[in-house]
Amino acid sequence: MPSESLRKYPRIKRRDTLDQTLRAGSVARTSYFRMCYREGEGPPGVAFLAGKKVGGAVERNRAKRVLREAVRTSKADLSGIETLVFVASHRAATARYSDLRRILHEELRRISDRDS
């Protein structure tokens, strides 16, 4: 049985890579999250962030967990993206999964189409 983790997208582990993506990357904003990305060789390194404004630890963890699941189920071709960072907003913690997933898939499709 294949693994259901984010194995196809490695996690961003270096702080300088994360900071560079947040500072100099392109940005797509929605009401649930901000997506920062840099173009380059894929598959992208992925990171999920949720600050204190999102809420307590339970809300922050839920927001990141829902975003991770939505990215995992995405079929978008992200081969032209080097790094991809999701920053959750306070609405992501209380959002319905179906709404967040739909918006996230639209945004991923849009950036993958633009890079093609």
Query: With contact defined as beta carbons under 8 Å apart, do 90 and 28 qualify?
Result: no
pLDDT value, residue 86: 96
Q: What is the pLDDT of residues 72-104, one digit of tens each?
A: 888 888 888 899 999 999 999 999 999 999 999
Q: What angle do CA 88, 92, 93 make, to 5 degrees?
A: 105
Mean pLDDT of 11-32: 92
pLDDT of 1 strictly over 50: no
What is the pLDDT at residue 5?
Answer: 52
Tokens linked to 28: 């797509």
Asked whether 85 and 49 are in contact (CB, 8 A), the reply is yes
Kindly indicate the confidence band of residue 4, based on its pLDDT and cuts at 50, 70 and 90.
low
What tokens appear for 86 in the block?
């999701």
- 7: pLDDT strictly greater than 80: no
What is the pTM for the complete model shown? 0.87
| Cα 74 from Cα 12, distance rounded (Å) | 19
pLDDT for res 115 = 54
- Domains in the chain and their CATH numbers? 15-115 (3.30.230.10)
